[in-house]
Structure 1
């Protein structure tokens, strides 16, 4: 009888192995997230990836999909050239770039204050100013949809910035999505990125390789910014917790930001929008 019980236990344990392995595949919980936790270098993009891979899909709706993990792209619309003037927000005669916004009433007061703090994060030392929408036709509509994502640059009319609660209502995540709305892609998408980082293709989830494509964008005559709020973390989309991006200058270089814009992020905003300071 004891032998039968023992064999049943062994059989149960062995049959559970595939289940455990399945539960921790990238489709459910990003394995690379564990590696980042161990190394203590979580970035805003790491949080976005975790939220989107667990809760969101690659498709926002029937005509809109997510590129690079959090950039919403509508079929038939230009999506990869956002340093062109056509996708920038209008500049006022007083030298400021005013971005009207509306915040969903579904957020708590504390969450609304955090969203406003992220706006201040971008406004500091730049010419961008977020203003509550009154009558403006073009504005960002901040909604508690599924996942963290934004369209790239100004699209015209109402455009959604999705900040799922509570996963995406974090200072760095919100700031990151607002940067997309201003027209910025991820830093490692620069066409010259291979001079500065090595993409470890074998370590990346097979179905997320496209998230590491390069964009045909301008560098605004600014140096590569390892510490940009728009940079992927070292373990982004890692299959087994191994690095997916390695800096060429030093393995000790930290990639990305947790909460705040880098100095070069602010300079990029002022260069792109031709601010006077």
Structure 2
């Protein structure tokens, strides 16, 4: 795998909290160095918990120009990685200290860390793509009412890539089911496996590198 090492500067992208299902808003008045997108983990985490988080953070530098570094006094924008109620992040930059919740109960997995960091970097769930109806069928009657917003179609940063069942941003077949029946099924082949990614897929990495203009030809043909 090619490794892209150069730091970049990009124009800021902001988006409302993921739960509000908002479209991308461009903010052309700010610029952010990727090297200044920061992480400050809780001091009370165990060594094992910190290792999982650090592994997820450092994984981005192995296949993109994204670099996370520890918080420094005077930094204007950073990520606070905390153990709150659940796994969640705002989508895109919000300015100042920005919370990424990785609860000790159910969130400390490599794929989950990558998933939430991708939200912070501007990416939404795979099943919210505008073209998702060509690839999955949503069973609305099986979804918990308060969670249906997670399946609404919105503007997403696809970066010219195809729908990806193996994306770390793709929910699994029974996500937010209220009756133990599937909330999604792939089409036309309902037997296709999806939503089981243990780490970022090739498409996830390509989208990241294209959005942040990291490298040309990141993957060999």
Normalising by the smaller structure, the TM-score range is 0.7 to 0.9
The 3-state SS of whatever aligns with 1:270 is helix
Q: Residue 201 of structure 1 aligns with which residue?
A: 140
Please identify which structure carries the higher helix content. 1
RMSD in angstroms over aligned alpha carbons? 2.4
Who wins on radius of gyration, i.e. which is larger? Answer: 1
CA displacement at 1:166 relative to structure 2:
3.6
The 3-state SS of whatever aligns with 1:117 is helix
Q: Residue 57 of structure 2 aligns with which residue?
A: 119
Where do residues 195-274 of structure 1 align in structure 2 (5 Å cutoff)? 195-274=134-213
Please identify which structure carries the higher strand content. 2
Partners of 1:191 and 1:201 lie apart in 2 by 17
CA displacement at 1:153 relative to structure 2:
0.8
CA separation of 1:221 and 1:97: change in aligned 2, threshold 3 A: farther
* TM-score, with structure 2 as normaliser: 0.81
CA displacement at 1:165 relative to structure 2:
1.2
* TM-score, with structure 1 as normaliser: 0.66
1:228-247 Cα shifts (integer Å, max 9, x gaps): 10011111111222111111
The 3-state SS of whatever aligns with 2:166 is coil
Contact 2:35–2:69 under 8 Å retained in 1: no
**Residue of 69, 87, 99 corresponding to 1:160:** 99
CA separation of 1:72 and 1:201: change in aligned 2, threshold 3 A: closer
CA displacement at 1:189 relative to structure 2:
0.5
The aligned length equals 200
Partners of 1:122 and 1:87 lie apart in 2 by 26
> Mind listing any 5+ residue stretches in structure 2 that lack a counterpart?
1-15, 217-221
